[in-house]
Amino acid sequence: MTTTSIQVSPRSTLTTERADLLATLATHRSFLRKTVRGLTDEQAARRTTPSELCLGGLIKHVAATEEQWTRFILEGPSVMDFTDLSAEAVTRYADACVPRTQLEVAM
């Protein structure tokens, strides 16, 4: 049995992985944008199930998560410290379903 090994530089592997990740994020952002297209802020904030989930909250969650990971890439692991339980931090995350103007702009 012979094994063929292809040498790939770390740069090309990272470039391919990065391209795949960016394509996946773009695809899923598109799905989310299509889901909320044409909704008013009030409709996006409406909870249609017994859970606390709403489309506006989902968009805010995705945006906040992407922002957090971007900060991690740029600033390092210290930005992933979630021990901040100040009133401001709790409000920022708990207010996920407050209607916002121009909801689609957030995406």
Tell me: pLDDT of 38 over 90. Answer: yes
Question: Quick one: what percent of the chain has pLDDT higher than 90?
Answer: 19
H helices of 37-80, in order, are: 41-45, 55-75
Tell me: pLDDT of 24 over 80. Answer: yes
DSSP 101: S
Tell me: pLDDT of 84 over 80. Answer: no
> What are 5's two structure tokens?
């090994």
> What are 62's two structure tokens?
């995705």
pTM over 0.75: no
Q: How far is CA 7 from CA 13, 30, 52, 69, in A?
A: 10, 35, 49, 30
DSSP 100: -
Q: Which residue's structure tokens are 């740029």? A: 74
Vertex 53, ends 20 and 104: CA angle to 5°?
Answer: 60
